[in-house]
Every structure is written in structure tokens, then in C-alpha cells.
Amino acid sequence: MKIIICVKQVPEIMDITINPETGTLMREGVDSILNPFCEYAVEMGLDLKRRYSDIETVAISMGPLQAKSALMRCLEMGIGRAILLADMKFAGSDTWATAFTLAETIRTMENDFDLILVGKQAIDGDTAQVGPELSEILNIPQIMYAVGIDLIDNNKKVRVKKEIEAGNEIVEVKLPALISLSKGPMIGSVSSFQEILDARKKELRVVRASELTIDENELGLKGSFTQVVKIFPPQVKKTGMVIDGSEPQGAAKKLIEFLKQRKVV
Amino acid sequence: MLSWSSGKIMHEITSEAVPSVDFKGIRCINNYSEICQDYSSYLCDESKLAHQGAKYLFFPTNEDELSAIFKEMNEKNVTVTLSGARTGLVGGAVPYGGAIVSLERFNKVLGLRYDTQSKEWLVRAQCGVTIRDLNNWAMKKTFPRLSESGSAETKAFLEKYKETDTTYFYPPDPTEMGAALGGTVATNASGARTYRYGATRNWVRWIRVMLASGEVLEIPRGKYFATPAGEFTIINSTGNETIVKIPKYVMPHTKNAAGIFSAPNMDLIDLFIGSEGIFGAITEIEVALQKWSNPISIIQFLPSDDKAIDFVITLRKEKSIRPELIEFYSSHALDLLRKKQTEDPKVVGMPPIPDYAKSAVFFDLQFDPEKKDNDYAKLKKIVNRCGSTLEMSWAGYEQRDLERFKNFRHVLPETVNTIIAERKKNIPELYKLGTDLAVPDYALEEIWGFYTSILERAGLEWVGFGHIGNNHIHINIIPRSLKEMKKGLLIYQKFAKKAVDLGGTISAEHGVGKIKKEFFSIMFSKKELKEMRAVKNALDPVCMLNPGNVLEIEEK
């Protein structure tokens, strides 16, 4: 059985700074990480691998060469091998062009897959579109916002616990299928030092546009239906004082002093 | 350490008067009930030691105001307790009457320069700047206000600093990053990274100190040294001379925060570093920065505490492996955390501690994630020799991993504090018995054997953790009753005596403050304590500053 996990590298920032001149993200001094929801998908893939025998796992990402580090994280966690789609021709891809390129890669190189796992959304764009688009292009069923997966019927089907507005729903679907993960384990796993060293010996293949059988007009900016015109941070409302909560006792003291000074308590 | 490059070695130093200001214009709370009601946090620090009240609480904004306060208090015969971020663990900032002088408004970075001789970047800041801010500024290369209000020279250095590809940081890491720089210098703070980088003393290049007289000494490292007879001469602005005779005792060859620093031909700057504010208020400091290289944090699980000790000793001997820090969680510590994980896994923030883990050693190594052929064969061999494998470890190198691992290192003392706080509800007199002893390298095995044999026989609840790389394992005894606490106190005395017998110290990092003086007599003779007292009397004749810190308050 083969499980493919599609992942994305994102900037690890809480307060995004935008260059006012260019309208682009200021990435200086900002670390890039594996998107947390993608990490949940990786954790789920590895959990299935542990629980059921004979499962191959492959992580795929599209992005600049720096995105290798996000795939390296997957390999350290225990994923078997990884593919990075890196080419200037992919630059500027919107969600459709991204899904289309991923789909063509899977069709061309990993067509014997049984299950595709994705994070429900990336924390930078928050679109939650690539997963559903990928399943549409590949013409396979999709289940969104999963929180638990079991393989059933001799690994021919999956039983999925998914989030719905009022709680959870259990659904079953025949494989191949695509599932997006909403939540991971409360406490994320940690790799061993040996796993970190071994990951560097695993296959991490970089695939260029020329290795895919896609018309250039369907790649990157050319193949995108949408374009980002402008990015801007939400207007910050100066409505209060923020007390650093990293030291709860000190923070509580500051809060009490503040309230006392204003005769609130 | 640096030597002063532009002049001869001197034994005499002159203190300068600072401009006088109107004392009445300085912000002050002069009502005890108001201090208790609205400013109670200034009456305690992290030691939770009971205060003895305070008549005044001052908030000076500069040296001129601080000098005016000192002069006024001196005249009124009122003692002064200096207050920084109050993160100390031995009651150094807890007032025993008199006035509290908060230095929190001394919070500006003053300069940045590159010293071509020592090839170091140096940051000059006021004492109230926190270690967290200092590190953030150094690593992100943005020093607030310097680019606008710094001198032309500073601005030029700042530009050059920004252009360098290298990232720099300030190595002393006293765990509590909210600590004020001045406080860390006054206590010679250390922490996990002391293993590789030494304590705060190693990074201080220059200080300004306000003496009890209200005059200021400016002391660069490498300029003022004790005479062969062990003396310094301080000449005040009116020409009066004071001889300061340094103690003759030999400092332990370990990480140490107990007692006034003393060494033959010592540098004057070292007399003030670690003196816990009893000689003066350190107002400005220049510290050196260090090149930052990406580390990987590793938590190596081992089959027993003895194997962990063996692992540390072997790791230290292997010179090709250079850990940034080496820390320890004993078997009991892991058990306590396992229990915590079942109650509240989020607090611990790590996957379940494996059943096979009977002890753990944390260490950071330099690591290049881009490199494919990282060679850790020697480390693997040491780990295997100690009955474990690299598979039996946790490791991470991304910033979020490093923070997660650091939190895991800190969760144990916090867990112990929570247990004690819970028990205090029924027995208010109960408190944690936390040792701060360190011994020289040769004695690590011996002291650990001593600790465990006594503690296991006594049947007390305890954990061992901390800076094992510096042979500085904190033993926390968690008493369940007053009887156990009394038993624990006697054991603590035994441990302290043993540590000193082995050439170690009664306080490796917390300092002495007001609550560790009871162990002082184990480490220092009456004659040596008198020598310390003589330094205090020379520099602060009326014993105005930080009464009760380090030395007993003398009856007048």
C-alpha cells in the first residue's frame, strides 16, 4: 500500500510583516517550517504505517529549493522518501496550478498510490483549496477535516472520523481517496537523533518542470486562474495593553498592579 | 579575558562625582501601606522570602538621581535595597527595612562597537535591560534607539554589524531570561550554557558602579589590578583615599556564586561582579557577544543514573565533541514527569517518556542540517558504551524544537514548585529544599554516590537535575511533612559540607543573598568572613547597601 502526503513549507510567524513597497512578505529573519496541518497529515500517515503492515510513505511538496528542509522534517519523522517540485516555471502558482502540478506528478511518478493525505490548509494562505482541487483533478473521492483514520476491508477502504459543525461524523470510502487532516495528536512526536541522521541518507528527489508532461501554459503564473494583487496585514486596533504571559506569575502581578493603580480592584 | 590595551596596569582608581539634582523631584512612594498595597511585588523576589518592610520606594531615571538618593539615604542613615527584575532565588532584592531603589528605568541600550584587538562585538547597556531583550537585539541586529540617538561612531558600527553575515548572541543564559543585566552581573549569573561559555563574569568587559557615597567608578576589564599585597586604592573626588584589601582565601575550582571574588593580582572589575550589590550599584555594563551557530538539542535516555554519570564523564573527555551544555534528569525526575504527563500532558509538552528511560542527559551540539555526512560515530560509541543507542533519544534543531526542548528542561523545577505549593496549603511552614552545590570534575561520581546513598536511606521524596556538565546537580527534596523537612535540612547541611570537602561550593549559581548564609560557615572560616566584611566596610562604611545580603547585618 502506498500513502502519499502532500506538504507545504510556510513561514513561522505570528505577526506577519509586509513590505509596503512591494506588497510581499518580509521573510528576513523568519524561519520556515513544515505547515503544522501538513505535519498532522505526516503524523497520520506514519501512524497508519505503524498500525498496518506493508505501507510505503512518500512526501511531495512544491516550492523553492529551500522547501527541502520541510521535506527533510518529513523524512526525519519517518517518511520513506520525498519529492520536491522545484522550478522557476512553477513560480506564481495559485491553488489550481499547484494542485494541477501535484496531480500530474502523482499520475506520472506515483500512480499506484492508494491514499493521499493533506493538511486541511496552510497557515500562510489559509485557502484550504489545494486538497479538494487535487482530488477533483485525480478524480478520486475526498474527505475533509479528518481527525482519525482506520484502514478496513483488507486495506481496500478507510473509515474516517471527520469534524462537522456539530461534532464528528464517521464516514467510509473506497480507496484510492484523498483525506485532509484537521487535527493531529495533542502532543507532536519527536524524532530521535538517529532518525535525524538517517533522514539525510533517504531519497529526496528534486523534480523539474521538464520531467513532467505538462504544457508550460498550465504551470506557474501562466497556469493560474487567480493572481495575488496585494497582500496587507489587518489594521491593528490599539485598544489595550499586552502583558507578556511567558511568566504567568509575573504577568499576574503586573495585571494586578495595573488594575490597582486604576482603582479597579 | 582582555587586557587593557592603552595604558599601564594601575592599582589606584578615582571615583567621580555626578551632577547633583533636586532629591525632591525624584519619583518616590514614601508610604509603607501604599507600598504594601500597590507595589507589593517590590517587596519580594523569586525566593519568596518574607520581607521586613520598606519606608521608601524610589524610581530613579538616571545616575544623577540615583546619586542624590544615595546621598540622602546616607545622611538619614537609611539602608538601601537595590531592585532589578527581582528574579533572584536567594532574596537579594527583598528589603529588610529602609528604602528600595528600583533600577527598572535604567533600561536603555547605550552603544555597540567592535574591538579590533579582541575581535569582539561589544554592547553597552544600562543595568535594567533584560537578558531576553539584549539577546533579541543582538540576534535580530536591531538595537532600539541606537540608529536614531546613537553617536555617529555607534551608528557606523551598527551599520557594519547589520552587514555581517554572522549572527551573534550573548551567551550567559540564567534560565530566567527576564532577569535584568545588572542583576546578572551583580550575581555573576550562570546557567546551562556556562558549561561551554563560562558564567557572566567571562563576558563583562566594562562597568560603571555607583558607590554608597554617590560617586561613580568606571572600570574597564584589564586596567585596575590588585597590588601584590592584595590592595586597591580608591581616591574620591575630593582626594580622600580608601584602601580596599581583598580577601586571601582561594576560590573553589568550580562554577561558584558564593563569597566575594578573590584572586592574587585580581582585576578590580571582578570584585564587583558577583558581589550581590553590597559594594555598589552597577549602572552600566559593556558585554561581549559570541558568534551563534545552529545547535541540535539532544535528550539521550540511559538505562540508569550511574550510566548517565558515566556518559557525562566520557563525553567531557572526548575533545572532538563540544557540547554547548550538558544537563541531567535523574531517574526520579523522569518518574515525576511521567506522573505529570498522565495528569496534564500539555504542561510537559513531550510525547510519553519511554519506559526504558531510567535517566536522561540533555546536550546541545553544533549541527548543520544541510550536511549529509554528519559524523557522530564517536558519540554513538560513547552512547553504546553506556548501554544506550542514538535511537533511544529525542532530538531537534528547528527553533520551535529548541524552545520545546528548553521548556522540557524547565518543567521539572516548575512541577516541584507546584507540588510544594499544594502541600503548603496544609502545612504552611513547608518549603522546597533545593541544593545549589557544585564540585570539581574529579568528584562528580563521588558526590552523586553520596547524595543517592543518603537520600535513599532517608526515604525522602527527591529529584536530581540540572547542570551536570559543571558537576552542579540540583537536588530538590520535596518534604511531605515538617519532620521530613527537618530531616532534609540536616541532609542538606551534610551535602554542603561534603561538596566543600571535595573542593566545591555551597552555591554554584543562585548566590548567597539572604537565605544561603547559613551554609557560609561551611565554606569560609571566621577569619575569611572578616576579610569579606573588611571590603564591605571600606567600600560602604555605613553598610547602607543591600543589608542582609552575603554578610550578616552588624549590630550598631
User: Which pLDDT score, from 0 to 100, does residue A23 have?
Assistant: 64
Number of domains in chain A: 1
- Structurally, at CATH architecture level, domain B295-501 sits in 3-Layer(aba) Sandwich (3.40)
B16-50 residue pLDDT tens: 999 999 999 999 999 999 999 999 999 999 888 88
Q: Is-contact B479 B455, C-beta < 8 A?
A: no
Give the pTM.
0.87
The distance of B469 to chain A (nearest Cα, Å) reads: 20
- Asked, for residue A19, whether it belongs to a domain, the answer is yes
Q: Which residues make up the CATH 3.40.462.10 domain(s) of chain B?
A: 295-501
Sign of CA dihedral B61, B63, B68, B69: positive
Q: Is the pLDDT of residue A158 over 90?
A: yes
- Asked, for residue A94, whether it belongs to a domain, the answer is yes
Q: Write the CB contacts of A107 (distance below 8 Å, at least 6 apart in sequence).
A: A138
A190:B351 CB<8 A: yes
- Asked, for residue A138, whether it belongs to a domain, the answer is yes
**For residue B6, what pLDDT band results from cuts at 50, 70 and 90?**
low
B390:A193 CB<8 A: yes
The distance of B156 to chain A (nearest Cα, Å) reads: 22
CATH of domain B12-16+107-291: 3.30.465.10
A194:B389 CB<8 A: yes
**For residue A265, what pLDDT band results from cuts at 50, 70 and 90?**
confident
- Asked, for residue A39, whether it belongs to a domain, the answer is yes
CB-closest option in A69, A192, A261 to B391: A192
User: Which pLDDT score, from 0 to 100, does residue B303 have?
Assistant: 98
Q: Where are the alpha helices (DSSP H) in B248-318?
A: 268-272, 305-317
- If one counts every other C-beta atom within 10 angstroms of the C-beta of residue B538, the result is 16
What's at B448, amino acid-wise? W
Mean pLDDT of chain A: 90
Average pLDDT of the segment spanning B239-247: 96
Cell of B247: 580577601
> Domain span at residue A26?
2-218
The DSSP secondary-structure symbol of A109 reads H
Average pLDDT of the segment spanning A54-81: 96
Percentage helix, strand, coil for chain A under 3-state DSSP, each rounded to 5: 30, 25, 45
The distance of B260 to chain A (nearest Cα, Å) reads: 30
Which residue in this structure is represented by grid cell 550578616? B552
Average pLDDT of the segment spanning B404-430: 92
User: Which pLDDT score, from 0 to 100, does residue B3 have?
Assistant: 44
How much of chain A, in percent, has pLDDT values that exceed 70? Answer: 94
CB-closest option in B37, B39, B394 to A190: B394
CATH number at residue A38: 3.40.50.620
User: Which pLDDT score, from 0 to 100, does residue B27 have?
Assistant: 96
User: Which pLDDT score, from 0 to 100, does residue A26 have?
Assistant: 66
A192:B37 CB<8 A: no
User: Which pLDDT score, from 0 to 100, does residue A230 have?
Assistant: 77
Average pLDDT of the segment spanning A210-220: 91
How much of chain B, in percent, has pLDDT values that exceed 70? Answer: 98
Q: Least CA distance to B401: which residue of chain A?
A: A190
The DSSP line for B407-422 is HHHHHHHHHHHHHHHH
**Dist. CA A131–CA A117, nearest whole Å:** 8
A72 CB neighbours in chain B (<8 A) are: 369
Q: Is the pLDDT of residue B69 over 90?
A: yes
H and E: helices and strands count for chain A: 6, 11
- Note if the bond before A176 is cis, omega within 30 degrees: yes
A19-65 residue pLDDT tens: 766 666 666 667 889 999 999 999 999 999 999 989 999 999 999 99
**For residue B8, what pLDDT band results from cuts at 50, 70 and 90?**
confident
Residue B38 host element (H or E) = helix B32-38
Which residue in this structure is represented by grid cell 518616590? B28
Mean pLDDT of chain B: 94
A187 CB neighbours in chain B (<8 A) are: 345-346, 348-351
Q: Is-contact B502 B447, C-beta < 8 A?
A: yes
Per-residue three-class SS string for A111-133: CCCCEEEEECCCCCCCCCCHHHH
Give the pairing of strands A2-7 and A56-62. parallel
B400 CB neighbours in chain A (<8 A) are: 12, 31, 33
**Dist. CA B55–CA B32, nearest whole Å:** 5
B349-380 residue pLDDT tens: 999 999 999 999 999 999 999 887 778 999 99
The distance of B176 to chain A (nearest Cα, Å) reads: 9
- Asked, for residue A243, whether it belongs to a domain, the answer is no
User: Which pLDDT score, from 0 to 100, does residue B15 have?
Assistant: 97
Q: Which residues make up the CATH 3.30.465.10 domain(s) of chain B?
A: 12-16+107-291
- Asked, for residue A24, whether it belongs to a domain, the answer is yes
User: Which pLDDT score, from 0 to 100, does residue A14 have?
Assistant: 61
The DSSP line for B73-121 is HHHHT--EEEESS---SS-TTS--SSEEEE-TT---EEEEEEETTTTEE
B298 CB neighbours in chain A (<8 A) are: 193
Between these two residues, A202 and A240, which has the higher pLDDT value? Answer: A202
- Asked, for residue A26, whether it belongs to a domain, the answer is yes
The DSSP line for A191-259 is B-HHHHHHHTTS-EEEE-GGGS---GGGSTTTT-S-------PPPPP----PPPTTSHHHHHHHHHHHH
- If one counts every other C-beta atom within 10 angstroms of the C-beta of residue B184, the result is 33
